[in-house]
Amino acid sequence: MTEKVAIITGATAGIGEATARRFAREGIRVVLAGRRQAQGQQLVDSIRAEGGEGIFVAADMLSEADIRALVDKALEHYGRLDYAVNNAGVPGTAEPLHDFSNANWEQVIGVNLTGLFLCLKYQVAAMLDSGASSEGGAAIVNIASSLGQRGSALSNIAYTASKHGVIGLTRQAAVEYVQRNIRINAVCPGATRTELLAPLLAMGPEVEAELNTINPIGRLIEPDEVAAAALFLCSTGASGITGHSLPVEGGQLAKL
């Protein structure tokens, strides 16, 4: 995978940061995207200090212009695009369906679903135009959720709907580009130790113990476990896998 190029969105923390570091350790040149410029540059500096190569591009997933500029920057800087991990997402605020605001819905669907559609649109075009898809194949991994395959009293209508949509986008895109040598898959994490859970974890060991029960494995999923799954799906070891949604959720879906 050395000298390949990957775009990773939502890269400044959690699953995105873990994915950036893991890809860079494999010799992949990473183009990191997020809204937080300072954190993004710090991550790039850290990756370079460890012998990796990467750049950071500030991008908001609600902006088509930003998404197009992100892909253009990857091509301008490295001349190709081999992989993408679309991790950027927002949870939305916890409101019941009958009180759920249009603004809340539009924010979550805009980032998690429309933003992902636009990422796929420009990433696939770049993979085809740069020739990466014809030189050993290209791969895209979309970060969905175990909530893309079930409902939960701990979620909200927009987040669950958006993650179901991510899986649908993944399957349809995989069918459309399977003959063009681009594999497109999803990873479905369960409750994961990220910034989203940090306020709850800070409330004490009793709250963490309760969170640990969400995943039947009895603990939170670590970001690097999700990153490892994304790397596998981009590797030649997964050359026969496309349109798949890989659970990394400690057995949640096995109980359904």
Domains and CATH numbers, the chain: 5-192+222-255 (3.40.50.720)
CB 119 within 8 A of CB 86: yes
CB 38 within 8 A of CB 64: no
User: In angstroms, what CA-CA distances link 254 with 190, 209, 211, 216, 248?
Assistant: 12, 21, 18, 9, 11
Provide the percentage of residues in the chain whose pLDDT is more than 90: 77
List the structure tokens of 183.
């594999």
CA distance 5 to 17: 16
Residues with Cβ within 8 Å of 27's Cβ and at least 6 positions away in sequence, in order, are 1, 2, 3, 4, 52
CA distance 28 to 24: 5
First to last CA, the chain: 37
> Which band of pLDDT confidence, cut at 50, 70 and 90, is reported for residue 136?
confident
Mean pLDDT, residues 52-73: 98
CA distance 250 to 218: 8
- Give pTM, 2 decimals: 0.93
CA distance 129 to 26: 25
Residue identified by tokens 């350790």 is 25
Mean pLDDT, residues 185-200: 86
Highest mean pLDDT among 54-58, 155-159, 211-215: 54-58
Q: Does the structure show a pLDDT above 90 at 92?
A: no
pLDDT value of position 142: 98
Q: Average model confidence (pLDDT) for the chain?
A: 93
CB 113 within 8 A of CB 169: yes
pLDDT value of position 43: 97
Residues with Cβ within 8 Å of 242's Cβ and at least 6 positions away in sequence, in order, are 174, 178, 183, 184, 185
Q: Does the structure show a pLDDT above 90 at 134?
A: no
Q: Does the structure show a pLDDT above 70 at 146?
A: yes
Mean pLDDT, residues 52-58: 97
Express each pLDDT in 207-220 by its tens digit.
Answer: 888 888 888 999 99
pLDDT value of position 211: 82
Q: Does the structure show a pLDDT above 70 at 256?
A: no
CA distance 101 to 45: 40
Q: Does the structure show a pLDDT above 80 at 118?
A: yes
Lowest mean pLDDT among 39-43, 117-121, 248-252: 248-252
Q: Which residues are known catalytic residues? A: 159
> Which band of pLDDT confidence, cut at 50, 70 and 90, is reported for residue 195?
confident
Q: Does the structure show a pLDDT above 80 at 222?
A: yes
pLDDT value of position 12: 94
Mean pLDDT, residues 164-177: 98
List the structure tokens of 34.
């997020």
> Which band of pLDDT confidence, cut at 50, 70 and 90, is reported for residue 138?
very high
Strand order in the sheet with 5-8: 54-58, 29-34, 5-8, 83-86, 138-143, 182-189, 245-248
User: In angstroms, what CA-CA distances link 107 with 44, 92, 159?
Assistant: 28, 7, 10
Mean pLDDT, residues 133-150: 88
